[in-house]
């Protein structure tokens, strides 16, 4: 169902009022984690002013260490809904547990399935039973075939609103956090009609590399970007090393314009 052989035309998926795919180019941005109302509101205003239309932010965080900040949970979802309405942005947040599905669907415009859950088939089927848009991130060590089959799970269960996200994979290279596989973007655009979003933040893990790889993502045919930005990057409770300041984010958005026009 996700193959271009079956549906040759680009699928356009609405996240609230934001179309993703086809002729549109979508910028999703915000902090890695929702830390407080003030933090999310300030970041949302900043990224919206620079051109983002979808606000990202985690309320349920899949942290490598159990001692790291795990997210604000339901309180975070409420903050996200309020900030989204106040600022006028659509919203996306990660779902880790099927028990949170209704809470997330009522407060936030789209689900994100994180890299660590790409092959959580119970979760894929659960979001497949809704019509809520889903951003499916590539697993840490998942092949493109496995990624497309994970997308197929969601669509086959009944939800056609799936976007695929290349967020870097684990390779022998350790200089960067992950290796952003832009081959996958061009390959998936050829094989599938689903929109493809590039995440240069997790793809590199390095603040200064986010901008060049964002441009590369546009150039190779992505339908949008998801970027982590924080009002005070060094104070970010998670993924501080890859968060862009408001100024860095604004500069990147200006630099992206010619790339978006050209592609
Ligand atoms: C995130 O978006 O903050 C995140 C945890 O991403 P990933 O699942 O790609 O690691
Ligand atoms: Mn993150």
Torsions phi, psi of 248, nearest 5? -60, -40
Is ipTM > 0.90 here? yes
Using CA atoms, how far apart are residues 193 and 6, in angstroms rounded to an integer? 9
The residue to mutate among 29, 56, 59, 62, having the most atoms of ligand 1 within 8 angstroms of its beta carbon, is 62
**What one-character-per-residue DSSP string does 88-112 give?**
T-EEEEE---GGGHHHHHHH-SEEE
Residues of the chain with pLDDT under 70: none
Residues with CB under 6 A from ligand 1: 32, 58, 62, 114-116, 137, 167, 202
Look up residue 180 and give its two tokens. Answer: 């952003």
Residue 263's pLDDT is 75
Please report, for the chain, the start and end positions of each structural domain, with discontinuous segments joined by +.
13-262
Name which residue sits closest to atom 8 of ligand 1, judged by CA. Answer: 114
In this structure, which residue's CA is closest to atom 10 in ligand 1?
Answer: 115
By the 8 A CB rule, do 209 and 251 touch?
A: no
pLDDT of residue 262: 78
Residue 135, phi then psi, degrees to nearest 5: -100, 110
CA-based nearest residue to 231, from 41, 43, 40: 43
Please give the number of the atom of ligand 1 that sits closest to the Cα of 115. Answer: 8
Distances (CA, A) of 230 to 36, 119, 203, 258: 12, 29, 17, 25
Neighbours of 97 (CB within 10 A): 13
At 188 the pLDDT is: 98
User: Cβ contacts of residue 217 below 8 Å, gap of 6+?
Assistant: 166, 180, 182, 185, 198, 200, 225
**Which listed CATH number (3.30.565.10, 3.30.365.10, 2.40.50.180, 3.20.20.70) goes with 13-262?**
3.20.20.70
Q: pLDDT tens, 113-149? A: 999 999 999 999 999 999 999 999 999 999 999 999 9
The pair of three-digit structure tokens given for residue 243, joined into one six-digit string: 């968060």
> DSSP H helical segments within the chain, as ranges?
37-50, 74-87, 101-107, 121-128, 144-157, 182-191, 200-204, 207-219, 246-262
Contact 236, 243 (CB under 8 A): yes
Report DSSP letters for 56-90, one per residue.
E-BSS---SSTTS----THHHHHHHHHHHHHHT-E
Local structure of 28: helix, strand or coil = strand
Which of 199, 204, 227, 238 maximizes ligand 1 atoms within 8 Å of its Cβ, making it the mutation to test the pocket?
199
Ligand 1, pocket-test mutation among 202, 205, 243, most atoms within 8 A of CB: 202
The pLDDT, as a whole number, for residue 135 is 98
């Amino acid at each position: 169902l996700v193959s271009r052989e079956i549906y040759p035309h680009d699928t356009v998926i609405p996240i609230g009022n934001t179309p993703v795919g086809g002729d549109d180019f979508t910028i999703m941005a915000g902090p890695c984690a929702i830390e407080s109302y003030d933090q999310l509101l300030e970041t949302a205003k900043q990224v919206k002013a620079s051109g983002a239309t979808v606000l990202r932010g985690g309320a349920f965080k899949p942290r490598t260490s159990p001692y790291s900040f795990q997210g604000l949970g339901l309180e975070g979802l409420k903050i996200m809904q309020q900030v989204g309405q106040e600022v006028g942005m659509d919203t996306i947040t990660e779902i880790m547990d099927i028990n949170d599905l209704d809470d997330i669907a009522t407060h936030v415009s789209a689900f994100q399935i994180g890299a660590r859950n790409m092959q959580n088939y119970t979760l894929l089927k659960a979001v497949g039973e809704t019509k809520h848009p889903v951003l499916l991130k590539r697993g840490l060590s998942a092949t493109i075939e496995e990624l497309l089959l994970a997308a197929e799970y969601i669509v086959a269960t009944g939800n056609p609103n799936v976007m695929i996200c290349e967020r870097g994979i684990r390779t022998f290279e350790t200089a960067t956090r992950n290796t952003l596989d832009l081959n996958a973007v061009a390959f998936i655009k050829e094989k599938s009609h689903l929109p493809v979003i590039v995440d240069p933040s997790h793809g590199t893990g390095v603040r200064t590399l986010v901008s060049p790889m964002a441009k590369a993502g546009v150039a190779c045919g992505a339908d949008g970007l998801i970027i982590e930005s924080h009002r005070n990057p060094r104070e970010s409770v998670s993924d501080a090393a890859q968060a862009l300041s408001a100024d860095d984010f604004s500069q990147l958005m200006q630099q992206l314009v010619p790339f978006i026009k050209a592609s």
